[in-house]
Amino acid sequence: MIDMPEEYMDHEDVYALMMEALDGELSDSGWAELESHLRARPRLAHEWEAMRAVDALFRNSPILHPAIDLTRRTVAQLPSPRQRLYAGIIIYVMLLASGLIPLGAIAWIAIQLLPVVAQPAFLRGLWQAGVEFLQLLQVMTTALLGGAGEFVRQQPAVLAWFVVIVAVIILWAAVYNRLVLQSRRVES
């Protein structure tokens, strides 16, 4: 059975008979049934005549042939296996080089920097900078959380608004999922 669009569901049986008829698969009793339906529905009969006319037009339309030298021109454009092999080798070498060149550059830079980086004074300075950065982060986080806590204590309505906003987001996500995503799944 053909998957009919909704607007044709009223005449689903008639359209199914029409398709079978156009495919040359309709039995004699099917033809009789189709003709009786069409006699009762002039609009469908008109559409059926148009379908048959287009069907006949297409069936009588010939297979067209290209210019006689198409084969010669196409063969001349076929890539040779040797060319393809060379192209493959070149691509392989380029990919290999694109990986090796950055690796080599990193190794060279590391060798150049190693004597400087390995000095105890540099390492101590690096350690000190890391510790100071962590301390700074700690101070900033403490200040931010403290400020937020103080704000909520002074304005408790803000907390309620925050809860409302989260609830609205969850609600709209559920509605979107229900209406949009599920209908897309059905269509596909």
Partner 1 sequence: MNDEEQVWLEQARRGDKSAFGRLIEAYQGPVYNLAYRMLGNRGEAEEAAQEAFIRAYTRLDTYDPARKFSTWMLSITSNYCVDLLRKRRALLLSLDQPLPPHPALMSDRAENPEAQAADSEREAMVQALLETLPEDYRQTVVLRYWYDLSYEEIAEVMDTSVSAIKSRLFRARRQLAEVSIEQGMFQSLQLEPE
Binding site for partner 1 (CB under 8 A): 2-5, 8, 15, 18-19, 22, 46-47, 49-51, 53-67, 70-75, 77-81, 84
Kindly report the CA angle at 70 between 68 and 75, in degrees rounded to 5? 135
CB neighbours (10 Å) of residue 55?
14
Shorter beta-carbon distance to partner 1: residue 70 or 164: 70
Total number of residues shown for the chain: 188
Shorter beta-carbon distance to partner 1: residue 65 or 153: 65
Shorter beta-carbon distance to partner 1: residue 42 or 115: 42
The CA dihedral of 181, 183, 184, 188, to the nearest 10 degrees, is: 140
Tokens of 138: 């700690």
Closest contact distance (angstroms) between CB of 28 and partner 1 is 21
Closest contact distance (angstroms) between CB of 58 and partner 1 is 4
Closest contact distance (angstroms) between CB of 35 and partner 1 is 18
Q: Which of 66, 36, 71, 38 is nearest to 52 (CA)?
A: 38
* Amino acid at position 37, single letter: H
Closest contact distance (angstroms) between CB of 19 and partner 1 is 6
Shorter beta-carbon distance to partner 1: residue 58 or 115: 58
Closest contact distance (angstroms) between CB of 40 and partner 1 is 19
DSSP assignment string, 12-57: HHHHHHHHHHHTT---HHHHHHHHHHHHH-HHHHHHHHHHHHHHHH
Shorter beta-carbon distance to partner 1: residue 13 or 51: 51
CB neighbours (10 Å) of residue 102?
10
